[in-house]
Amino acid sequence: MLLPTYGSRPLMVERGEGCYLFDPNGRKYLDFITGIGVNALGYNHPAITAAIRDQAGLCVHTSNLHMHRYQEKLAERLAEWSGLDFVFLSNSGAEAMEAALKAARGLANKQGRRRHRIISLENSFHGRTAGALAITGQPKYRDPFAPLIPDVVFIPANDVGALEAAANEETIAIVTETIQGEGGIYPLENSFMEAIANQHGALWIADETQCGLGRTGERFAYQPHRPDIVVTAKPLAGGLPLGATMFSALAACGIDPGMHGTTFGGGPLACRVALAFLDETERLLPEIRRNGEYLHERLRELRHTLEIRGRGLMAGIQLAEPGEPFVRKARDAGLVINCTHGNVLRLLPPFIAGRAEIDQACSILAKVLSEAGASESSPLHCAEVSLSR
Ligand SMILES: Cc1ncc(COP(=O)(O)O)c(C=O)c1O
């Protein structure tokens, strides 16, 4: 029997096509959560399906004992996309973060540093492995597994004063999500990213697992800033598991040959599909920017909301009450979204969603929010939510 780690899952998925999912009875749903940001090119995308079909008939796995023709190519593309120098390929966001944390520790040890303070942000989410959990700023995930790795300090996002107070010569890394995803869609401010970049002696680890790889209409949401390490995964291989950690030349000194590895990570199937994903996404960036702006315009027209947050095709709708009932009603009306952090409806539409799909989603949301009779918001509420962050 499956370990019951997840709650009830009312939707049985049979297949997908473009922006839509179908259940076994043929009922169609507009998918605006895309497997939590993974199915970013929608379902059965011709470039992704062709790459999978072709490579499946050639070679799916080699292990890293052998080379194949797509791994180095993918590393070069990701280095170019991120502006960094070296790439480690793994299988998930949490694993990509583990590589980042190990590099920070490895570099600090090489530099002869005896203390290893890591600064992370309150409300953050970085994955479920023990290392990623240690830097996740939400007690509900951390506390059941305490004690975790020590010397992690959590500060509020966008608080430059708190950053400057927490950072000292012991600080080896500062970890951020450029837009906090699971924590409720909270973007970092430019001034805060600049302040992090100015903390010399500490590596800036940008976790772009949810907000990166085109979702905001940029290759990565942190751009034009430049972190030392970038962590990504989710949409990279079109639904196949693939994580990637990108390192500056300095950060890469933290991991020598033999110090880190993986059996599955960076296999030929996943890498080939990832190259197809990057090609397609590169082409779509201007549309993602345009459609992202349109999505946010339309969401701001919705009534019964406190605040709309996010950028591009990543949006959070802050409600005054729990979001789960609205998720259920939206699904009954043919729209799949999810609720995160209690009162936030999260939208991660596919990059191929255009105005027609955005209009469809917004009209379902408008109906669902009004039918459910959510309490009317006031400008005062909006101000309170903004200031509380
Ligand atoms: C920002 C961020 N980092 C890391 C992770 C963990 O990724 P995975 O579930 O692939 O391990 C997630 C997953 O939601 C995430 O949103």
- Per-residue tens of pLDDT for the chain, all 389 residues: 999 999 889 999 999 999 999 999 999 999 999 999 999 999 999 999 999 999 999 999 999 999 999 999 999 999 999 999 999 999 999 999 999 999 999 999 999 999 999 999 999 999 999 999 999 999 999 999 999 999 999 999 999 999 999 999 999 999 999 999 999 999 999 999 999 999 999 999 999 999 999 999 999 999 999 999 999 999 999 999 999 999 999 999 999 999 999 999 999 999 999 999 999 999 999 999 999 999 999 999 999 999 999 999 999 999 999 999 999 999 999 999 999 999 999 999 999 999 999 999 999 999 999 976 545 444 333 333 333 33
**Cα 209 to middle of ligand 1, angstroms:** 6
**What CA–CA distance (Å, rounded) separates 323 from 122?**
21
Burial of 256 (0-12, 13-18, 19+ CB in 10 A): exposed
**Cβ-Cβ contacts under 8 Å for 373 (sequence gap 6 or more):** none
pLDDT of residue 8: 86
pLDDT at 69: 97
Tell me the sheet residues that pair with 173: 118, 203
Whether ligand 1 lies within 6 angstroms of the CB of 181 is answered as: yes
First to last CA, the chain: 42
Q: Is the CB–ligand 1 distance for residue 93 below 6 Å?
A: yes
For the Cβ of 92 lying below 6 angstroms from any atom of ligand 1, the answer is yes
Beta bridge partners of 335: 30
State whether the beta carbon of 126 lies less than 6 angstroms from ligand 1. Answer: yes
Q: How far is the CA of 189 from the centre of ligand 1 (A)?
A: 21
Atom 16 of ligand 1, residue of closest alpha carbon? 210
Q: What is the DSSP string of 169-234?
A: TTEEEEEEESEETTTT-EEPPHHHHHHHHT-TTSEEEEE-TTTTTTTTSSSSTTTTS--SEEEE-G
H helix or E strand, kind and range, residue 339: strand 338-340
Ligand 1 pocket: which of 124, 126, 177 to mutate (most atoms within 8 A of CB): 126
Query: Of 275, 235, 279, 283, nearest to 42 (Cα)?
Result: 235
Mutation to probe ligand 1, out of 188, 209, 346 (largest number of atoms < 8 A from CB): 209
Tokens 């070069």 locate to 76
Give the distance (Å) from ligand 1 centre to CA of residue 36.
Answer: 9
* Sign of the CA dihedral with 72 first, then 76, 81, and 84 last: positive
What is the Å distance from ligand 1's center to 136 Cα?
Answer: 10
**Max intra-chain CA distance, the chain:** 62
Sign of the Cα pseudo-torsion (71, 272, 232, 77, in order)? positive
Tokens of 93: 């966001």
Nearest atom within ligand 1 for CA of residue 127 = 6
Residue 379: other Cβ atoms inside 10 A:
7
Q: Would you say the pTM of this structure is higher than 0.75?
A: yes
Q: What is the CA radius of gyration of the chain?
A: 21
Please identify, by atom number, the ligand 1 atom nearest to the C-alpha of residue 210.
16
Q: Which mutation among 230, 234, 338 tests ligand 1's pocket best, with the greatest number of atoms within 8 A of CB?
A: 234
| Ligand 1 neighbour 281 (Cβ under 6 A) | no
CA 22 to chain centre: 25
Atom of ligand 1 nearest to the CA of 241: 10
Q: Which of 85, 49, 103 is nearest to 251 (CA)?
A: 103
Ligand 1 atom closest to Cα of residue 36: 14
Ligand 1 in reach of 94 Cβ (< 6 A): yes
| Binding site membership of 233 for ligand 1 (Cβ less than 6 Å) | yes
pLDDT of residue 381: 39
**Atom from ligand 1 closest to the CA of residue 233:** 10
Residues 248/84, Cβ–Cβ less than 8 Å: yes
| C-beta of 177 in contact with ligand 1 (< 6 A) | yes
Beta carbons of 333 and 200 less than 8 angstroms apart: no
Ligand 1 atom with least separation from CA of 132: 4
CA of 57 to the centre of ligand 1 (A): 30
- Is the peptide bond between 257 and the residue preceding it cis, with omega within 30 degrees of 0? no
